[in-house]
Copies of this chain bind each other. A is one copy, B any other.
């Protein structure tokens, strides 16, 4: 029978190159959800996150992310997405939409912007129109939709799985 000993402060995995996934969040209803996303993103080695509106990162939720993640706060998302598109980023939205692809079959571009939806409203139409595609996480049971921060964490996980060392 194998024996396991907790190692709660294992050293993190080293990335061979900085991650080029950029997370873009619209104004969210809940700064708790936003702060959970920031913590998950920082743990995943994501180096840049766009937040909008009255975004406030709650340290009791996000924990100590140090300088590892650059947090940018903008008034609205649309102009930021337009600019990133002009800079050549492929832009994908995490959204249940008419043409969305299952994340299980989605090879992430290494350099990519991932747009998250607002808890109630999802991704606004004007941003949707700019996207190169939408991806969705299959759901199997009630309540038929993941919490926004949970969905974001799952998508970040999938990106890391595809790029385990950067």
A interface residues with partner B (beta carbon < 8 Å) = 1-10, 12-13, 15, 19, 36, 39-40, 42-46, 61, 63-66, 68-69, 93, 95-100, 102, 104, 122-123, 125, 128-129, 131-134, 136-147, 149-150, 153-154, 157-158, 160-161, 164
Whether A93 touches B4, Cβ cut-off 8 Å, given contacts A64-B142, A104-B164, A142-B66, is yes
Evaluate contact between B142 and A160: CB separation under 8 angstroms: no
Query: What residues of chain B lie closer than 8 Å to A44, measured between beta carbons?
Result: 139-141
Q: Quick one: copies of this chain in the complex?
A: 2
The 6 closest A-B pairs by CB, nearest first: A45-B140, A63-B143, A68-B141, A154-B157, A4-B97, A5-B98
Q: Which of B9, B98, B140, B161 contacts A160 (CB 8 A)?
A: B140
State the main secondary structure of chain A at its contact with B.
loop
- Contact partner of A4 (CB less than 8 A), chosen from B7, B61, B98, is B98
Contact A129 B3, beta carbon cutoff 8 Å: yes
Q: Is there contact, CB below 8 Å, between B4 and A100?
A: yes
Q: Please state if B142 and A42 are interface contacts (CB–CB under 8 Å).
A: yes
A146 → chain B, closest Cβ, in Å?
A: 5
B40 close to A150 (CB less than 8 A): yes
Q: Give Cα A36–Cα B104 distance, bound, in whole angstroms.
A: 22
Query: How far is B19's CA from A102's CA once the two chains are assembled, in angstroms?
Result: 19
CB distance from A30 to the nearest CB of B (A): 11
Contacts of A160 in B (CB 8 A): 104, 138, 140
